């Protein structure tokens, strides 16, 4: 895919990392992404759903993507190991476009993080099932991934806690917690981030 092709996507995302709540990578006295994760290394899964999107004239509406990332220390220090799963319902051109966007090769939000990546374990077409219900988000890849988050309890029942200017993915993110059995297992690794830090938010990304 051409690196200078204009693209735009809107949709929803969530993440579940292995840090205790609240993750110091985003909330600490130190600059963002410069603190040591609470477990030493960061192991985080991201789920994405594209409501509407295009990469040039390639339509991307309705597709799902998952990104798994591991850092051996503070995220800003780099040396990330990443795996990418792309919706198998997309055709070859659409999968290439989604891969370009979510790997960072096409610039935009993920492009800002791409220099931190040192190892790509694989880009895997897979059946990816996305679910968003009220204050819950989850994604499933049969036999590999079943991760989800629910909004952290707040002072106002049935409303999430929202933080501003805290994350590179969105201007506001909801504070959340990993659901029971929030796991990923592939490439010789297995993570269980149940009860650990999470977030979710609508996304509006472009390289324009």
Class of domain 7-206: mainly beta
Which residues fall within 8 angstroms of residue 71, CB to CB, at 6 or more apart? 37, 41, 42, 77, 78, 79, 80, 81, 116
pLDDT of 78 strictly over 90? yes
- 60's enclosing H/E stretch is none
pTM: 0.97
**Residue 2 class from Cβ within 10 Å (0-12 exposed, 13-18 middle, 19+ buried)?**
exposed
Specify the pLDDT at position 2. Answer: 59
> Residues 122-173: pLDDT tens digits?
999 999 999 999 999 999 999 999 999 999 999 998 999 999 999 999 999 9
User: For the chain, which residues make up each domain, given as ranges?
Assistant: 7-206
Specify the pLDDT at position 14. Answer: 98
Which DSSP symbol is given to 114?
G
3-state secondary structure of 99: helix
What confidence tier does 3 reach under pLDDT thresholds 50, 70, 90? low
């Amino acid at each position: 895919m051409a690196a200078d092709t204009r693209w735009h996507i809107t949709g929803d995302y969530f993440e579940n990392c292995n840090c205790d709540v609240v993750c110091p990578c985003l909330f600490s006295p130190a600059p963002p992404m410069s603190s040591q994760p609470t477990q030493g290394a960061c192991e985080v899964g991201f789920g994405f759903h594209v409501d509407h999107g295009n990469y040039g004239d390639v339509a991307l509406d309705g597709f799902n993507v998952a990104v798994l990332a591991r850092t051996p220390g503070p995220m800003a220090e780099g040396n990330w190991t990443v795996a990418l799963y792309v919706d198998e319902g997309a055709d070859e051109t659409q999968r290439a476009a989604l891969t370009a966007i979510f790997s960072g090769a096409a610039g935009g939000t993920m492009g800002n993080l791409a220099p931190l990546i040192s190892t790509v374990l694989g880009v895997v077409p897979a059946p990816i099932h996305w679910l968003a219900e009220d204050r819950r988000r989850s994604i499933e890849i049969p036999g590999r991934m079943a991760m989800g988050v629910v909004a952290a309890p707040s002072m106002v029942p049935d409303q999430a806690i929202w933080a501003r200017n805290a994350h590179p993915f969105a201007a506001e993110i909801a504070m959340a917690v990993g659901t029971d059995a929030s796991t990923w297992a592939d490439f010789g690794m297995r993570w269980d981030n149940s009860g650990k830090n999470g977030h979710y938010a609508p996304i509006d990304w472009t390289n324009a």
